[in-house]
Amino acid sequence: MNYDQKVLSEYEGKENGYTEEKFLNQENIKEEQHPMEKMISGADENGKSQKNAETKPEDTGYEQEKLENQDRKNEQIKEMGQVTLDRNPRKHHVELLTIIGEVEGHESAPSQSKTTKYEHVLPKLALVEDDEDVDGLLILLNTVGGDVEAGLAIAEMIASLSIPTVSLVLGGGHSIGVPMAVSADYSFVVPSATMVIHPVRSSGMFIGVAQTYRNMEKIQDRITGFIASHSHISQKRLEELMLDTTQLVKDVGTMLEGREAVEEGLIDEVGGMKEALAKLYELIDLQKAEKKIDNFMIKLVTLLTIYEKSSTFSFDCPSFCDIMLENE
| Catalytic positions, written as ranges | 175, 198
Report the DSSP beta bridge partners of residue 117: 104
Q: Write the single-letter amino acid at 283.
A: L
Directed axis angle between helix 318-325 and helix 273-309, to 10°? 150
Indicate the SS3 state at residue 77: helix
Candidates 292, 266, 241; CA nearest to 181 is 266
Q: For residues 108 and 84, give the distance between their C-alpha atoms in angstroms, rounded to a whole number.
A: 28
- The answer to whether the CB of 29 falls within 8 A of the CB of 12 is no
Candidates 140, 163, 125, 129; CA nearest to 285 is 163
Q: For residues 103 and 81, give the distance between their C-alpha atoms in angstroms, rounded to a whole number.
A: 14
Q: For residues 155 and 178, give the distance between their C-alpha atoms in angstroms, rounded to a whole number.
A: 9
User: Other CB atoms closer than 10 Å to residue 85's CB: what's the count?
Assistant: 15
Q: Write the single-letter amino acid at 111.
A: S
Name the pairing type of β-strands 136-146 and 165-173: parallel
- The answer to whether the CB of 176 falls within 8 A of the CB of 164 is no
Q: How far is CA 175 from the centre of its chain?
A: 26
Q: Write the single-letter amino acid at 318.
A: P
Q: For residues 317 and 203, give the distance between their C-alpha atoms in angstroms, rounded to a whole number.
A: 73
Report the DSSP beta bridge partners of residue 101: 143
**In the chain, how many H helices and how many E strands?**
12, 9
